[in-house]
Structure formats: structure tokens, C-alpha cells
Structure 1
Amino acid sequence: MLNIYTAALEGKLFIVQQVLEKEPEALNSHDEASGRSSGGHDELVSFLIKKGAAVDLKDDSGLTPLTIAASTGKDRVVEILLDHGAQVNSQNESGQTALHYAASKNRLQIAEHLLKHNADVNIPNDIKQLPIHRAAAQGYTALVKLLLKHGSRLNPMDGERNTPLHLACEEGHGDTAALLLEEGADADRVNGDGKTPVDLCSKELKSFLAQHLE
């Protein structure tokens, strides 16, 4: 049987309307909190909000509709939720914000929307990683630049004492590492294993970054 969660995921507005007529309490169920955003159907999201859906209702993992929409790349849904007062810095059970997810998945436009609505670039998750750690680890140079522009710390250390530069070097992301060095990242900072970012570079990456390390 198709419930409101499944219908919302599939963008079936008519079925959602029918379910709500029979079960109005389904409007703010935990399942529906996920369904109304992850499908990315802006008409359905707008309908549910007009019906009184709580824009910040969390699912069982602590994810809000905004966090899910940011993670799945639903730009328009993110805009709608923010325009209706969604809490931009809400954290899930692992401490991740919508900006962490945008940074992890290279959602540049969504990150810009979040930042315009005062997303905090320096909120750590449960392993003490900021959004810039996530973007640097994936080699998303434009996102790293955007986060720095909006006040992200340059040398924050995560739970293993890795800075964004450590992660960029370890994963072989030369352009991202070069940007961080140009911005003044500390190439001599030691992580929990006693390694500097340079120690984590391949021979080829060290050569690529040589001019930035002089």
C-alpha cells in the first residue's frame, strides 16, 4: 500500500492529498519529513508547507527536510525550505549540518543558498570536521574557496588532528591543496600520526606543489 512517505518521494501530489484527507496526522510523521524533501518535487513541498508541515521535523536519523534536500542536490526545494524559515544550522545525530552535506557532495549552488541564509561555516560534526574538511577531502576547490570567503577557519583540526590541507594532500587533490597553501594553510602542522600535510603527499603531488612550499 502506498503511504504518504512513498508518495512524497515519487512526487505524487494527488495521492498525498488523498492520504492527508484520511490521515491528517501523517502530515508531520517522521517518515514524511524525509519524503517531502528527498523526492525533490517543489510543488509537493510547497503544498505540504501550506498544509502546515513542520519544515524542521527530523526523521529517525536526525535529518531535516533541508538537510536531505541539500544532500540530494534539490536546489529549488532548498530555496523553498529556507524561505519558509527552515533552521539552516540544524545538526543530525552525527553533528552534520546541511552545509556539511553540500560540501561533501559538491553542491556549490546549494552551499551559496545556505550561506546567504547565515549557515555557520565553523560548526564541527561529531568527528570535529568542519564543512571545509569535507570539501577539501573530496577535492572540491571552488567549494573550499567559497567557504573560506565566508569565514571558514583555514587550519582547523579534526578528531585525528588533520587539517583540510592534510586531507587534500592525502587524497591527492593538487588544485585544492594549492589553493589552501596560497591562502596561508600551515604545511608544517602535525596530525595525530605525527605527519605533516607534505608527508602525506605523493612524489608527484610534492612536485606539483613545490612552488607553494618554498
Structure 2
Amino acid sequence: MSNARDINPILKQVLELGPPLVFFLIYLRIRDNTYVMGGTEYSGFIVATLVFVPIMLIAMAVLSALTGKLSRMQVFTAFMIVFFGALTAWFNDERFFKMKTSIVYGMFALLLGIGLLRGQSWLAFVLKDTMPMEDEGWMILTRRLCLMFAGLAVANEIVWRTMSTDTWFKIETFGFPIALVVFLFLQFSALQGYLIEEDEEDEEDEDA
């Protein structure tokens, strides 16, 4: 933690959001094409996936070098992208990469749910240092976010199984992230009363 460094927030957003956007743009460019590699014919979707994986890993490596850290969530998401990207290419089946989003959201919901069953907010364990909040507030936020992740996992399954690849791509790239950002914004606004001000923290430290 002591080695963590702050970087320009715009650069940070570019490194985090740039790869999915590049993936989307590459897909739009080559979606109607087919490519033969090693005697096997691949769709534009699968080729875009193969290009996206190294771009995402390079962006994560640069982000790690600049900030001196990577969150567990980032590492887990990167692992899932590489794993399901490899399955997509190996089996030449785009369904694997589409399922990846459901599994990632589902795993987040499962992990938060396990913590809740133990009477703990594992979300607080990850974020408490960056956003001091009363334990009750963390429990409320964790319950709601657990349900949100579960809902996104179900929504992704419905979208990719019933809609076109183009529609899924747009919703997965823009719809789900925007929905999550709006949800978190509304939750943090609603939970303002549970936030701990710096003055209160100082008083607690003095009392201790």
C-alpha cells in the first residue's frame, strides 16, 4: 500500500476504459469479415477478441507500473478475460467470451453474498480506506451491490442468448458499465448519512 502512487485521473480512465472501447471499435470494423489462420476460419468477433486480450494486458501492465498496484478485482477480471478469450479462440466459439461477463458479475455477487452470510462486508474490506463509512452503511451497500451484480449476470445471459451479437456488444460495452456507475452514484448519494467525516475520524483516533 505504501508503494501506491497517484496518477493523472484522465490517464487512469484511458488505461481502464480504453481497451474495451478499442475492442468495440475493432469489432465494428471487422465484424463482417472472416479470417483463415492455421487452416481454420475465424469470424471478425473472434479476431477482435484475440486483439483485445493483449491490448488489455498491456494497459494493465502500464497502469500497474504507474500506480504501483492493481486491485484484486482488476486481476480477477483480467484472468477471466484471458481465460475465456483463450477458450473462444481454441473452440472457435464466440459464446465463451459472451458468457465471461455473466460469470464475472456472478462471481462478484457470490463473493459479496458469502461475506453477507458471515455477517461481514467484504466490500468494506476492499474500499474502507478510500471511503470511510459506518459499518451499517457498508452492509447496506454490500447487500444492494450483491443484488446488482446478480441482476447484471442474469441480464447478460438474457441479452447474449436472445439478441444479436451487435446488440450484445453495445450493451456489454456501454449499457452494463453505465448502469453500474449510475447505480453506485445513486447508492453513495443515498448513503451520505453513513459517511464518516475526517473530523470524526480524528476524534475517534484521539479517544483511542
Note whether the superposition's TM-score is higher than 0.5: no
Q: Which has the higher contact order (CA 8 A, sep 6+)?
A: 2
Q: Between Structure 1 and Structure 2, which shows a larger proportion of helix residues?
A: 2
User: What is the TM-score with the length of structure 2 in the denominator?
Assistant: 0.25
